[in-house]
């Protein structure tokens, strides 16, 4: 890996959502780059196929079993492990699941966030930096405009609303209680390790390897921004370094490639990389989809001097290579 080291040192780190797509990569970077004295990870479910386990990260960190709705546990972890930096990535992230079970999504994403921040506030003598993972979904549907950080947070559907609310709560704890919080609003993450077959990358690669047409749940037209997980984790570390120094408290930063790609275009790009002649099947059965989401990352590039290392094209290639090897090994394809 050619990433340069961040000059920041984050001390004892607490990572929620560590077994997820981005969480696993963030933990790997913190460990491999020596930016944490110790990493403590909150793990609700042991997901054996997660990169957190396949890369052996679980053997290099302290694993705490529990979830974000256990206030006493969060407070204990902050205190017992002298946590200095919190990376809060834990959330219910599936839009379809949120539509089916809104109460659970709202509970985990909103109450889970304020409980974590309350634990940080109660241990503010130790906790110096908090990074909160918001989302481009927090902006809601703004008629196809390219979002800047000054745009209002206006989610309408369960998942989007949960991120809008949690984002505002993070700002509240920064401005009212002085917690050193930075907020990330990223485009759709992609990269090795996401094995949820409702998502574009694993489902498309698997379909091609099995010789069948990949399926698109929407009508193929929703436009999204994307960011490769190595660039995403690097962006989190970059912002954490600035927040640690006391800059940009309570501010949000967009991170994406600014490409405005439709779902159909992304699937076609994967097919191109795999040299597949297959054509996708458009099911047009998804609901509560925001039609256009596009981010302006100029603020991060200017104030944080952030620049993605890998980019979309190389990220696609590396992602396809990983899934191809994984599915061929796991399924004998």
3-state secondary structure 75-128: HHHHHHCCCCEEEECCCCCCHHHHHHCHHHHHHHHHHHHHHHHHHHHHCCCCCC
Beta-strand (E) ranges in the chain? Answer: 12-16, 38-43, 62-65, 85-88, 129-133, 146-147, 181-186, 188-190, 215-216, 223-224, 226-228, 252-255, 261-262, 281-282, 294-295
Give catalytic status of residue 159 as yes or no. yes
Question: Two tokens at 137?
Answer: 């979904």
Pick from 17, 290, 15: nearest CA to 136: 290
Q: Of the listed 159, 226, 323, 326, which one is catalytic?
A: 159
* 125 φψ region: left (φ > 0), alpha (ψ -120 to 50), beta (else): alpha
| Pair 51, 25: CB distance under 8 Å | yes
3-state helix, strand, coil in the chain (%, to 5): 45, 15, 40
Beta bridge partners of 13: 39, 85
What distance separates the 2 farthest-apart alpha carbons in the chain?
59
Alpha-carbon distance 102 to 92, whole Å? Answer: 10
Question: What are the backbone angles phi and psi of residue 181, rounded to the nearest 5°?
Answer: -115, 135
Residues assigned a catalytic role: 159
């Amino acid at each position: 890996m050619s990433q340069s080291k961040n000059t920041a040192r984050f001390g004892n780190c607490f990572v929620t959502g560590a077994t997820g797509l981005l969480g696993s990569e963030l933990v790997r970077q913190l460990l491999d780059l020596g930016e944490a004295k110790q990493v403590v990870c909150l793990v609700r479910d042991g997901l054996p196929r997660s990169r957190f386990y396949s890369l052996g990260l679980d053997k290099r960190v302290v694993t705490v079993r529990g979830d974000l709705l256990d206030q006493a546990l969060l407070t204990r972890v902050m205190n017992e492990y002298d946590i200095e930096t919190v990376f809060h990535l834990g959330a219910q992230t599936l839009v379809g699941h949120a539509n089916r079970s809104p109460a659970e999504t709202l509970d985990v994403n909103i109450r889970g966030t304020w409980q974590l921040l309350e634990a940080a506030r109660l241990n503010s003598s130790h906790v110096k930096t908090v990074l909160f993972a918001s989302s481009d979904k927090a902006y809601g549907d703004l008629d196809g405009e390219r979002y800047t950080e000054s745009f209002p947070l206006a989610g309408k559907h369960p998942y989007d609303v949960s991120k809008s609310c949690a984002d505002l709560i993070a700002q509240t704890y920064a401005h009212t209680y002085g917690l050193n919080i930075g907020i990330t609003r990223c485009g759709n993450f992609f990269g090795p390790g996401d094995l949820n077959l409702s998502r574009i990358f694993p489902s498309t690669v698997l379909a091609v390897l099995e010789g069948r047409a990949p399926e698109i749940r929407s009508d193929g037209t929703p436009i999204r921004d994307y960011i490769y997980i190595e660039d995403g984790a690097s962006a989190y570390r970059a912002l954490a370094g600035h927040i640690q120094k006391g800059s940009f408290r309570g501010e949000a930063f967009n991170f994406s490639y600014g490409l405005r790609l439709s779902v159909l275009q992304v699937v076609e790009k994967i097919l191109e990389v795999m040299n597949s002649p297959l054509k996708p099947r458009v099911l047009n059965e998804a609901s509560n989809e925001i039609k256009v989401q596009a981010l302006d990352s100029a603020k991060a590039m200017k104030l944080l001097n952030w620049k993605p290392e890998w980019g979309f094209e190389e990220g696609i290639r590396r992602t396809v290579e990983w899934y191809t090897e994984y599915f061929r090994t796991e399924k004998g394809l």
